[in-house]
Structure 1
Amino acid sequence: MWRMGNLMRGARISEKADTGTTERSLKESDGDIVVVLQDYPTPEISEPIYRIGEKLKVVAQDVYWWRVCSLQTGKENYIPNSHVAKVFHGWLFEGIERQKAEELLCLPGNRVGSFLLRESTKERGLYSLAVKHRTVKHYRIFRLDNSWYYISPRLTFQCLEDLVNHYSDFADGLCCALTSPCLSATIPSLDTSNGAPPVVMRRNFDWKKVDRSQLVSTESCSDNIVSFGVRNSIAAYLSFSESQNPSRTKANSRKKKSKSVYALPDSGLGNIDYDDDF
C-alpha cells in the first residue's frame, strides 16, 4: 500500500491493456491516473501526442518510460515519467511545484473555484492548496502532532478529504469556495464507486434551519443536511478546544451535552497563512 498524508490508496498498476478505449479507464483506482505537465513531444520536434493538462491512465511502468492511455482520446503510447504527475482523488497532485500548479489551473476548462492540493517537493508530508480566483491563490496546509490538518488553526480536519469537503461547502476565509478539481471538466465523468466521493456543492445554506444536534454528530447519515466532513470538523474543534482548557472541561462535564454548540463567525478568518514560497 502507498500512503500520502492520512490518505491511503493502492498503487497497483495493470500489467497489460484491455481492448476497450476510454470505458476501461472509468473504474480504475486513483493511483493509476496521471496528468501531463508539458507537451510531449515538444512542438519543436513534432506534433505532440499528449498535451499539458491531459489526463492519462497508466497501463504499465518502467524505470523512465510509462505506457499510458489518454482518458480523452483513448490514444495509447509511451511518455517519460518526468512529463507526468500522479493524481489521487482527482485533486491531490504528486510532485508538482507552485508554478506548475498555476499553469494547470490557468488552462481552459478550469473555472473560478477550481483547485488542487499538492505535496511539497522539498519536504514530504507538507501540503498546499491552490485555488483559481482572479489569480491563483495558495494556502499552506499545516499538520498537528496528531496528524490532523488545518489551514486556519481554529478548524482542524482528520484527513485532507474532510478539509476539501468543508471548503467546498464554505469559503470560510479562502478567496472563494472550492467548486471543482483542477482539469475535471476535461475528462468524462468517472465512476467513483470504488474511489473518493465527489465534491458536492451546496448553495443558499441556511444554518437557522439545521437541527443543532446534527452539528456535533459524527455518524454518517445520508439524510443529514450537514456533510460528514463538516460534522467531523465541528466535533474535532470542540474536542480540541476542551483539551486546551482542563478547568473548562470539568465545568462542562457538569452541564448537559446538548449545550455544546459550534457558532460560525460572521467575518472571514484572520489567521489563514498564504503560501508565498512553498
Structure 2
Amino acid sequence: MGNSCRKHCQAIRRLLPCGNNGTGKTEVIVIPTEQHKPTYVALYDYQARTPDELSIFAGDRMQILNSNQQNWLKARLLSPRENLEGYVPINYVAPVTDIASQPYFFRNFKRTDAERQLILPGNGVGSYLIRESESQVGNYSLSVYDGTHVKHYRIHKNDNDGYFITTRTVFPSLQELVTYYSQNADGLCCRLANPCLRNEAPLPPDLCYETADHWEIDRNSLKFLKRLGHGQFGEVWEGLWSDTISVAIKTLKTGTMKPQDFLREAQFMKNLKHPKLIQLYAVCTLEEPVYIITELMRHGSLLSYLQNDKGETIGLPQQVDIAAQVSSGMEYLERQNFIHRDLAARNVLVGENSVYKVADFGLARVFEDDAIYLARNDTKLPLKWTAPEAICDNKFSVKSDVWSFGILLYEIATYGKMPYQGMSGREAHEKVMMGYRLPQPPNCHASFYKIMLDCWKEQPENRPTFDTLQWRLEDFFEVEVSSYYDPKEFIQ
C-alpha cells in the first residue's frame, strides 16, 4: 500500500482458510476513513421535520455516512456547522464531483421543460441551463434565452473527453465551456449570462424520514383548512400535517372500497414517482373515511382551471403544453405497466408556474364497479371518457387510457366543456359503438384534433402509445431553423 493510501485508509489483516489443503491466505480489508467518505453539496435549503433529520442550506457541504435508505441519505455537515448529523432527502443534494452540483445543470429536463423554465419571470437575456441530451445518451444540450425565444445547442463529447458545440473550439470540461461562452457569444444567439432560475425546491420524497417505510400516519396529525373540491371518490381539502407541512387530504367515500384492497394498491402507488404525477405521501386507513395525503396543488383541478379561463390566457401553445405534460406522466405509467382507468381533466391538478400533474391514478381499481358505471346520475360517470372495450368487456389497458386521453384533449380544446353534450353516458357509448366520434371543436387546430382521432381508433392496438403521443405533442411546433455552424450540431 502506497504512502498516499496509508494516509487515508486503515487495513485489517486476517488469515482466512482457503481451499481443501489447509493453506490460507491473507486478505486485506480496506475500511474507508473520513477522507474517503463521499462529499456532497446541498442544492436547496431543507428544514428538518423530525429529530432524525438534518437541516441544510444551499451550498452546505457534507459527508455521506449511510446510503442504505432509497430516498434518504445520512449526512454529517462539514461546514459551516461541523459534525451535525441527520438524514437529508436524496433529491436535495448531489456529489460535489457531479455536474448535478452546478447551478446551471437541470437533471431530467427535456427541451420543452427548458423552454417553459427559461421564459419564467426573473430570467433575462442570456439566461441558460445545461441538460442531458434527449437524442444522444451521454451528451448534453445547452438552452439559452435570447429575450424572445429559447435556442438549443447540442454539446458533443469527443474521444478525449473534450466538450464542444463546434469542433473548432473544444474544452476539457463543461465548466470551461460555460466560462468561455459567458465571455464570447462566438456564434451563439448571445453570451451566457446567469444560470436559469430554479422553481421552488423539489418535493421531498416523503413527508419525513420516518414515513419513508411507515406511511400509515395518525389522522389526528392532520388539520383541515379549506375544502378544495369534491368528486367521484370523495372530497379534497387543503390541510396541514404536524401543523407545519401543507398537504392535500382526500377523504374517500365510506363504504365504497375495502381498506385492505386500497392499501395493496396504495403501496404500489407510493412507489410511482414522476414530476408529472401527484406524489402520494401517506394514508390513514385504520378507520373510515380513509384519507389519502398527497402534495398540494393550489390551483385545483384542470377542469375548473379551463372553465374559469375560457380562452382568455390559454391559447394553442398552452393547450399543447398541458397535453404534453399529462402525456409525460402517462408515459411513465405506461412504462410501469400501470393503468389509470379514470383519466380526465377533473383528475389532473394545476400547480404554480403552469405545472400540471396526473392525480387519482389507481383509485378506480379499488372502487366497486357500481360506484363507477351504474350510478343513477350518469352525468357524473366516466362513461364518456371510457374506451368501448372497457365498458363492454371490462378490458382496461394502457390503450383504454389512451382513449380517455383523447377525451381529455377534447376538454382542453373546449375549455372544459362536457363531451357528447346533450347525451347521457349510455347514449354516447351506443353512438361510439356505431362509429360516431366527437367533431372537431371550433378554433381547434387540425393537428390537435388529429391526435384525438388517433386516440379513438376502434381497435386498441391501432391507437398510439403514450410515448408516441408525448413526442408528437412536444414536437407540435417543430420548425426548420437556420444552423449554427453545422446543422448537425444545432437542435431546436
- If the TM-score is normalised by the length of the shorter chain, which range does it land in? 0.3 to 0.5
- TM-score (ref. length: structure 1): 0.42
Choose between structure 1 and 2 for higher RCO, CA contacts under 8 A separated by at least 6 residues.
1
- TM-score (ref. length: structure 2): 0.25
Rg larger in 1 or in 2?
Answer: 2
